[in-house]
């Protein structure tokens, strides 16, 4: 069984797959790991690009349509085999090189989660303003002092990840949900790169679902375990072992 399972939800990120795959394979080369891409209903050739640039530890989960990031993360968590779960976004802005030292901190100190703080964000105002406003709203509504709640660079113990109630929209509250469960959390500075290809899925419109979800976040956070009724459908799975040997690592 691998030590680490890296889960990457993607939707129409074809232009970023090649470069991100290279960085992942390089960053995790010294770890016993698997890389799980979850294709959340892409309409471009994201899946083909994942297979093209797959390393020997790559797995691909295809959802039958676009269910959203929460469902994609849950699908990956349920399929993961590692003792620890790592997450990053598929847009290339999170640096996979941050993950090995985060894993070491989690293992050495027993943290349930080590989460990133983007200290030098490479986004424009249209992305940073709603993100900061959402952070403030969530902190006020949930009475938590955690920083940068929207950073996807994180390492979690497998059991902590399995206990997350990741229904629609709840991926935004992973830090808060774990804090409510009295989990041990460490936040550290991580790198943040500019988006160089593809189109951002976030903007000012993200504030409205945050406000909607905050109405019930405190009640939801008291749940003892994850939702047990699947709210997504996996249409297919693929593993790198199925590709010709000469393509591995390209």
Higher-confidence residue of 198 and 244: namely 198
What single DSSP character describes residue 243?
S
pLDDT tens across 69-92, in order? 988 999 999 999 999 999 999 999
Nearest Cα neighbor of 23 from 75, 97, 79 is 97
Indicate the pLDDT class of residue 39, thresholds 50, 70 and 90.
very high
User: How high is the pLDDT of residue 139?
Assistant: 66
* Least confident range of 134-138, 161-165, 198-202, 232-236: 198-202
Helix H or strand E encompassing 200: none
- Cα separation of 26 and 15, whole Å? 19
Q: What is the mean pLDDT of residues 89-103?
A: 95
pLDDT tens for residues 193-216?
Answer: 776 775 655 555 555 666 666 655
Q: Which residue in 10, 157, 141 sits closest to 69, CA to CA? A: 10
Tokens read off for 174: 């992973």
What percentage of the chain carries pLDDT values higher than 90? 54
Domain count for the chain: 1
Which CATH number belongs to the domain containing residue 138 in this structure? 3.90.550.10
Burial (CB count <10 Å: 0-12, 13-18, 19+), residue 124: exposed
| pLDDT for position 224 | 46
pLDDT at 63 over 70: yes
Query: Could you write out the DSSP letters of every residue in 88-103?
Result: --TTS-B-GGGHHHHH
Cβ-proximal residues to 208 (8 Å cutoff; 6+ apart), any chain: none
As given in the structure block, the two tokens for residue 108 are 């050495």
Whether pLDDT at 157 is above 50: yes
Q: Does an H or E element contain 231, and which? A: none
Structure pTM? 0.82
Phi, psi of 118 (to 5 degrees): -80, 100
Other Cβ atoms closer than 10 A to 98: 22
The pLDDT score that the predictor gives to residue 120 is 75
Average pLDDT over residues 6-19: 96
Q: Higher model confidence: residue 175 or residue 24?
A: 24
pLDDT bracket for residue 140 (50, 70, 90) = low
pLDDT band at 232 (very low <50, low <70, confident <90, very high): confident
Domain span at residue 128 reads 4-247
């Amino acid at each position: 069984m691998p030590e680490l399972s890296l889960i990457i939800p993607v939707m129409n990120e074809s232009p970023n797959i090649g470069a991100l795959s290279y960085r992942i394979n390089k960053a995790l080369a010294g770890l016993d790991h698997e890389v799980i891409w979850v294709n959340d209903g892409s309409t471009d050739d994201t899946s083909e690009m994942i297979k093209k640039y797959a390393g020997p530890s790559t797995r691909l989960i295809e959802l039958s349509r676009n269910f959203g990031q929460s469902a994609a993360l849950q699908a990956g968590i349920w399929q993961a085999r590692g003792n620890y779960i790592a997450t990053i976004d598929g847009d290339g802005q999170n640096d996979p090189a941050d993950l090995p030292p985060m894993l070491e901190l989690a293992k050495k100190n027993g943290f349930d989660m080590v989460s990133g703080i983007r200290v030098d964000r490479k986004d424009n105002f249209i992305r940073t303003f709603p993100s900061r406003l959402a952070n403030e709203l969530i902190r006020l509504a949930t009475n938590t002092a955690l920083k940068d709640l929207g950073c996807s660079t994180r390492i979690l113990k497998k059991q902590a990840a399995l206990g997350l109630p990741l229904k629609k929209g709840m991926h935004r509250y992973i830090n808060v949900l774990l804090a409510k469960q009295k989990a041990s959390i460490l936040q550290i500075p991580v790198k943040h790169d500019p988006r160089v290809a593809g189109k951002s899925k976030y903007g000012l419109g993200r504030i409205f679902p945050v406000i909607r979800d905050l109405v019930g976040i405190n009640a939801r956070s008291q749940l003892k375990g994850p939702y047990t009724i699947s709210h997504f459908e996996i249409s297919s799975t693929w593993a790198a072992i199925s590709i010709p040997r000469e393509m591995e690592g390209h």
